[in-house]
């Protein structure tokens, strides 16, 4: 591996790993708009099973791109939002989105 | 799924699928520098098994980001290069590389 390529390879692979998971990109996209509660995310992502949503949110949280905030009250309220790294990641995806709209959709 | 998010979700997922595969990003990176022969790619990507390199090059070719060119002669010579879509994809990865160098490496 050319020395020049190695840092790109390791870090890019790590970023692609963070994004790999059927619903993660969509979850990031929905959270980019505004913080969301669990139930909202379930409605916005039809087809996702509760167990999978819990798992993928946990993984995004562990990867530091999503934050989980619990609010006390008569009923426990939990809100998910993008961290600063999460917002930056979703922005960094825009050129890739543009590429795929130009190259993937037309085929 | 908010209507606004749907095209992003489908195309971005397709782009992430194209990139998923342990060595693909590195292969794109090495081919961005110049067209390469099979043997060169094997030397530049230590650790990759021949069968996996063949498979991942085939998948990148099927996805339209790598071109394979055979040259007749005393010995069959095969050269791999990025297509126009392949160059554009590798460029579109640069913000993601920057993000991962800032956010993934430092953790």
- Interface A-B: count of C-beta contacts within 8 A: 127
Cα separation, B25 vs B86, in Å, equals 11
B28 chain-A contacts, CB cut-off 8 A: none
- 3-class SS letters over chain B: CCCCCHHHHHHHHHHHHHHCCCCHHHHHHHHHHCCEEHHHHHHHCCCCCHHHHHHHHHHHHHCCCEEEEEECCCCCEEEEEECHHHHHHHHHCHHHHHHHHHHCCCC
Q: What are phi and psi of B64, to 5 degrees?
A: 80, 15
Range of the domain at A29: 6-103
ipTM metric: 0.79
B66 chain-A contacts, CB cut-off 8 A: none
Would you call B34 an interface residue with chain A, using a CB distance cutoff of 8 Å? Answer: no
Question: How many structural domains compose chain A?
Answer: 1
Q: Is residue B1, in this structure, part of any structural domain at all?
A: no
Cα–chain center distance at A10: 19
Range with top average pLDDT, A12-16, A92-96, B43-47, B66-70 = B66-70
What pLDDT score does B107 carry? 45
Would you call A54 an interface residue with chain B, using a CB distance cutoff of 8 Å? Answer: no
Q: Is residue A51, in this structure, part of any structural domain at all?
A: yes
Sign of CA dihedral B85, B90, B91, B95: positive
Top-confidence residue, A4 or A36: A36
Q: Using CB atoms, which residue from A5, A16, A95 is nearest to B16?
A: A16
What pLDDT score does A106 carry? 47
pLDDT digits (tens, 9 = 90+) for B31-81: 999 999 999 999 998 889 999 999 999 999 999 999 999 988 877 789 999
CA distances for B4 relative to A16, A66, A86, angstroms: 23, 21, 19
State chain B's mean pLDDT as an integer. Answer: 86
CATH number for position A72: 1.10.10.10
Determine the average pLDDT of the residues in A35-45.
Answer: 93
Q: Is residue A1, in this structure, part of any structural domain at all?
A: no
What pLDDT score does A76 carry? 78
Would you call B46 an interface residue with chain A, using a CB distance cutoff of 8 Å? Answer: yes
B106: confidence class by pLDDT, cuts 50, 70, 90: very low
Rg (CA), chain A: 16
Q: Do A105 and B11 touch (CB under 8 A)?
A: yes
Determine the average pLDDT of the residues in A32-54.
Answer: 92
Give the chain A residue whose CA is nearest to the CA of B15. A100
Cα separation, B50 vs A41, in Å, equals 43
pLDDT digits (tens, 9 = 90+) for A2-11: 545 555 567 7
Q: Do A5 and B11 touch (CB under 8 A)?
A: no
Q: Is residue A18, in this structure, part of any structural domain at all?
A: yes
Of the ranges A3-7, A37-41, A57-61, B91-95, which one carries the lowest mean pLDDT score?
A3-7
Helices (H), chain A: 6-19, 24-33, 38-44, 50-62, 84-92, 94-103
A71: confidence class by pLDDT, cuts 50, 70, 90: confident
Q: Do B85 and A103 touch (CB under 8 A)?
A: yes
CB B53 within 8 A of CB B23: yes
Determine the average pLDDT of the residues in A11-26.
Answer: 83
Q: Do B29 and A9 touch (CB under 8 A)?
A: yes
């Amino acid at each position: 591996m050319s020395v020049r390529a190695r840092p790109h390879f390791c870090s890019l692979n790590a970023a692609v790993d963070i994004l790999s998971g059927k619903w993660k990109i969509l979850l990031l996209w929905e959270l980019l708009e505004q913080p969301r509660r669990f139930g909202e995310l379930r409605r916005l992502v039809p087809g996702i099973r509760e167990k999978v949503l819990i798992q993928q949110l946990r993984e995004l949280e562990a990867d530091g791109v999503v934050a989980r905030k619990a609010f006390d009250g008569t009923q426990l309220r939990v809100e998910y939002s993008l961290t600063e790294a999460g917002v930056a990641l979703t922005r960094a995806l825009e050129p890739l989105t543009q590429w795929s709209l130009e190259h993937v959709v037309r085929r």
